[in-house]
């Protein structure tokens, strides 16, 4: 898939589950549950022990059936390792121009982390495909995305932090092209109690919320 195809698929899905788990095994099982719930994208963070091996296993298991990404990518060296392990997109928590350059060089999608208007524009002008606005909840949530989109309508944004079943639709209506969901979907309690079927059900709920919000946006347009 080209970078443009990967990006449009992520946007179509509307949700990027952030898989931050205590073990690689839990990451594999979480992605499997999310996939069964109908979400065809997942971001495995580099904070997961054995994250690269988990990415390799997931790439082998799902092939092109899922858009697989690497999260918490702090530098270009990690991005390259993730790419070799099978990641098709990278997500960074903060702005590092060298990581954007690495992704561009290999035609991979980069969702660069930023928060302030200056950082958001810097990331976009450096070639980020999407800007991850993080931590969105700490600065006003959906209202902050709407405020950023006013002067920066050309910038594609994916908010992270504070996205849940109640707020996901609000973020989309505020102008986000998709949302990233962490612990509200890949729930530590569900993992600990081995309740992956509930994670699967929750993934379906998020898709319903996104579809509803987009239908309302279309009706209002």
Instruction: Give the mean model confidence (pLDDT) for residues 139-166.
Output: 97
Residue 50's pLDDT band (cuts 50, 70, 90): very high
Give phi and psi for 106, each to the nearest 5.
Answer: -105, 15
pLDDT of residue 221: 85
Does residue 180 contact residue 158 with C-beta atoms inside 8 Å?
A: yes
pLDDT more than 90, % of the chain? 98
pLDDT of residue 1: 86
pLDDT of residue 106: 94
CA distance 186 to 26: 10
Give phi and psi for 44, each to the nearest 5.
Answer: -95, 120
- Residues 155-198: tens digit of each pLDDT: 999 999 999 999 999 999 999 999 999 999 999 999 999 999 99
The domains of the chain, with CATH numbers, are 3-220 (3.20.20.70)
pLDDT of residue 150: 98
Query: Quick one: tokens of 54?
Result: 């988990």
pLDDT at 133 over 90: yes
Query: Quick one: tokens of 79?
Result: 């991005």
pLDDT at 116 over 90: yes
Average confidence score pLDDT of the chain? 97
- Residues 58-110: tens digit of each pLDDT: 999 999 999 999 999 999 999 999 999 999 999 999 999 999 999 999 999 99
């Amino acid at each position: 898939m080209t970078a443009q195809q990967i990006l449009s698929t992520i946007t179509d899905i509307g949700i990027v589950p952030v898989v931050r788990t205590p073990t690689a095994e839990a990451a594999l099982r979480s992605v499997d549950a999310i996939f069964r719930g109908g979400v065809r994208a997942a971001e495995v963070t580099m904070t997961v022990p054995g994250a690269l091996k988990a990415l390799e296993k997931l790439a082998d298991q799902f092939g092109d059936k899922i858009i697989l990404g690497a999260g918490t990518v702090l530098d270009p060296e990690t991005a390259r390792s993730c790419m070799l392990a099978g990641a098709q997109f990278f997500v960074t928590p903060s702005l590092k121009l060298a990581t954007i350059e690495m992704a561009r060089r290999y035609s991979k999608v980069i969702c660069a982390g930023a928060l302030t208007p200056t950082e958001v524009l810097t990331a976009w002008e450096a070639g980020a495909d999407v800007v991850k606005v993080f931590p969105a909840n700490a600065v006003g949530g959906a209202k902050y995305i709407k405020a950023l989109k006013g002067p920066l309508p050309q910038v594609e944004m994916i908010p992270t932090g504070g996205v849940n079943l109640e707020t996901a639709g609000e973020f989309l209506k505020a102008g986000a092209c998709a949302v990233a969901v962490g612990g509200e979907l890949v729930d530590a309690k569900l993992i600990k109690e081995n309740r992956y079927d509930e994670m699967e059900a929750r993934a379906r709920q998020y898709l319903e919320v996104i579809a509803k919000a987009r239908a309302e946006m279309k009706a209002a347009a």
